[in-house]
Amino acid sequence: MSNPLLNLPQLPPFDQLQPHQVAPAISELIARCRQQLQQGLKDPGWESTLVPLEQAQDQLNRAFSPVSHLNSVLSGEWRSPYEAALALITAYWAEQGQNRDLYAVYQQLAGAPEFEHWPQPRKQSVVLGLRDFELGGVGLHGEARRQFAENRRRLAQLSSEFANNVLDATNAWTWHTEDAGVLAGLPQTALAAARSAAKGKKLPGWLITLEGPSYLAVMTHADNRALRREVYTAFVSRASEVGPNGGTYDNSTLMETILSLRADQARLLGMANYAELSLASKMAPSTERVLEFLNDLIGRAKPAAEREMAELREFAGTTYGLEDLQPWDLSWASEKLKQQRYAISQEALRPYFPYSKVVEGLFTLVEKLFGVAVAADNSVATWHEDVQFFWLLKGDERIAGFYLDAFAREEKRGGAWMDTVCSRRQTGRGLQLPIAYLVCNFSPAAGEMPSLLTHSEVTTLFHEFGHGLHHMLTKMDVEAVSGINSVAWDAVEMPSQFLENWCWQPAVIPMISCHYQSGAALPQAMLKKMLAARNFQSAMFTLRQLEFALFDFRLHCCSEAMSAEKIQQLLNTVRSEVSVVPVARENRFQHAFSHIFAGSYAAGYYSYKWAEVLSADAFSLFEEKGIFDRTTGEHFLHTILEQGGSRDALALFTEFRGREPKIDALLRHSAIEGQEQSISPA
C-alpha cells in the first residue's frame, strides 16, 4: 500500500494518515532532498539549484506538517513517530545550514551583477538565506561545527520533551466531587462542562481539570477559597519538583540543559549570549535596546498597576474580609470588583457570544476590510469531528484555506496558535495555495448548550485569525519569504494584535454577537459597561506581560550556567522589581513556560509588546479614516499582509503608516499615562 505522506495532495488526507507511515516517509523525503541538492550543485544557479531544491524541501515540509500538528492536537500514538521524525528533520536542517557548497551558490548569486535587478522576493530570499547560513554555523570548522549541529538536534528533542511534560502534567491532575455545594459561584456553562468531563471518565458529579476553560472558571468564579487554592496550586506547579505531582513530570533538568545548549550555540558563533543570537534575525537592534524598551514600559505601567492592586486589596478586605489576599484570590476578587464597578462580567456576556455567531461575524468583517470571502467545505477530511475547513475566496477564486480546531479536549495541547500546512509558492504545475491550521481551546458545546465564548475568547479567535491572514493573504511566490516566513519575529504578532482591535468596536459587536437562545442583540447598556470595563486592571495585565518578557530576556542574556535554583532566583528578582501581586511559594511558572522552552519565543517574548506598538499605531489609522474603510483596509493588505517577509518589517510599516511607529496609540488603548515620551521600536 502506498504511503500518502510521500505524495500529498493540496490538503493532507487526515482520514488516511497512520503513525507507522511517518518514519519511512520522512526518511525517503530527506534522501530525495539530499539527492536533489547534489544534482543542483552540478550547475549552480537560481533555476537549476534553488528552485528544484525548494520543491523537494516543500514536499518534506508538507509531510512533516500534519505529523507535527497531530502530535499537538491528538498526542497519544502520534508522539513517538513525531519525535523520531523531528530528530531526522532537525539533523537534516542542521546539515543543510552548514553546507558550504550551497552557501557558495547563494554567495555567487548575491555577487552577480544582475542581482540588484532581481524581483524583490527572490533577492530577499538570497539575502536572508546568507544570514541564516551564517547563523547556522556554516563558518564553523572541526569539532565546533559538529558540536553546533549536535546541539541543534538536542535542543529540538529537549523542547519536545518539555512540551510533553507540560501536557502530561496538565492531564494528570483532576479534582472530582459529587457535592454541588462546593462548586458555588461557578456559572452554568462551567458546571455543564465539568459534568460532561465527569461523564467522559464514567464518574458521577463534576470533574475539574487544568485545561484552560475549567481552570479559569474556578479561579474567576468559585466562591470556595479552599478549592481555588487547590486548583491554583496544581496549575502553577505543573511539570516541576513541587505540587501534587511534584517530580513526576519535572522540567527542571530540561530547562538547565536547554539554556546551556543555547548559550553554547551563541558562544560557538562568537556572540556574547543567546539573546544576541536571537536578535540577529529580529527588528530590535540590540539587547540594550530591548531592555531599554521593556524597562521604559515597566516604569510607565507600574505606578498605575500599584494603584490597581491597592484598590483590589482594599475592596477584598472591606467587602469580603480578605485581609491576606493570596494569589488564588486575585482573579476571583478582581471579578467581584469588576462586577461592582461596572455591573458586567465575562459570564454575563457569554450568552451573547455563541461560537457560531462570532465566527460568522469575523468572516463578514474580513470581507469588509480586505475583500475576501470565507466558505466552509464539509467534504475535507479532518482529524476530529469538531474541526471545520474553510476556503478564502477572492471573487469565485480560491486563494487560500484553513482548518479551524476551536475546542479544548484531552490530549490536545493548551493555548491557541496558528501553524502552516503549506505556504504559497509557484511550482512547475502552477500556484500552490497557502493553507493554515488555526487552533484554540474554547469550551465545547455541552448537552443542549452550544459553545459560548467569553469576550476574552472572542479576542483570542480574532488574534489567531490575524496570524492566519498574514499567512494566507500573501502574494509572494517564493516560499522563503511567503506569508509569515522570514518575517522578523518581533513583528510577526502585529497582524494578530491588529485584528483584535475590532472586537471592541460598537459597530462590530452586532456582527459577532446575539443571544444564543432569543437571538436578541447585546443590550446597549451591557455594551457600554463592557467598553467601560475594557481597561479594568490593564496596567496589571501589562505588567504581567512585561514580567514574563524581562525574565525571558535576562535569562537568555546570561552566559553562565543556569541551574534550576538560579532560574528561580532570577525570576524572583524580576518579580521583586516588576510585579505588584503576591506570589505563591509553590509557583513554578517557568517550568511550564512553553513559549520560551518549547516554542519560538526564547529571548523573544518581548515581541508581544514590541509588535503591539506597531499594531496599535496601525489601527489608529483606521480610527482616523473609519474602522470599515475599504481603502485603508486594502492599503494594509497590500503593504503588510501581501508582502510576507519580502521586505524589512519597519520599512513595510512605514509605507503603510506614512511614518515610523509611535507608541502613543498603545498607551492610549491601554489607558497608561506618559504619552509624551517616545519609546517606539523604530
- The catalytic site residues sit at 464
Strands 417-422 and 397-407, sheet pairing: unpaired
Q: Which residues have C-beta within 8 Å of that of residue 28, sequence separation ≥ 6?
A: 6
Cell numbers of 82, please?
513525531
Strand partners, 427: 430
User: In terms of C-beta density within 10 A (0-12 exposed, 13-18 middle, 19 or more buried), how is residue 240 classed?
Assistant: buried
Q: Do 258 and 597 touch, CB atoms closer than 8 A? A: yes
Helix (H, G, I), strand (E, B) or coil at 84: helix
Q: How far is CA 33 from the centre of its chain?
A: 30
For 71, phi then psi, to 5°, come to -65, -35
Residue 174: which of 137, 202, 135, 149 has the closest Cα? 202
Q: Do 540 and 309 touch, CB atoms closer than 8 A? A: yes
For 174, phi then psi, to 5°, come to -140, 165
Q: Distance between CA atoms of 555 and 274, rounded to whole angstroms? A: 9
How long is the chain?
Answer: 682
Q: Which residues have C-beta within 8 Å of that of residue 42, sequence separation ≥ 6?
A: none
For 531, phi then psi, to 5°, come to -70, -35
Q: Do 130 and 141 touch, CB atoms closer than 8 A? A: no
Q: Distance between CA atoms of 314 and 439, rounded to whole angstroms? A: 39
Per-residue DSSP letters for 39-51? HHHTS-SIIIIIH
Cβ density class 272-308: b for 16+ within 10 Å, e for less:
ebbbbbbbebbbbeebeebbebbeebbebbbebbeeb
Distances (CA, A) of 11 to 437, 583, 638, 643: 11, 46, 27, 24
Q: Distance between CA atoms of 171 and 544, rounded to whole angstroms? A: 26
What end-to-end distance do the CA atoms of the chain give, in Å? Answer: 56
Query: Where in 347-424 does DSSP place strands (E)?
Result: 373-376, 388-394, 397-407, 417-422
Helix (H, G, I), strand (E, B) or coil at 439: strand
Cβ density class 340-370: b for 16+ within 10 Å, e for less:
eebebbbbebbbbbbbebbbebbbebbebbb
Q: Distance between CA atoms of 255 and 556, rounded to whole angstroms? A: 12
Helix (H) or strand (E) holding 437: strand 435-442
Q: Do 381 and 9 touch, CB atoms closer than 8 A? A: no
Q: Distance between CA atoms of 141 and 108, rounded to whole angstroms? A: 21
Q: Which residues have C-beta within 8 Å of that of residue 335, sequence separation ≥ 6?
A: 220, 221, 345, 346
User: In terms of C-beta density within 10 A (0-12 exposed, 13-18 middle, 19 or more buried), how is residue 103 classed?
Assistant: buried
Per-residue DSSP letters for 28-81? HHHHHHHHHHHHHHTS-SIIIIIHHHHHHHHHHHHHHHHHHHHHHHT-GGGHHH
Q: Distance between CA atoms of 331 and 589, rounded to whole angstroms? A: 17
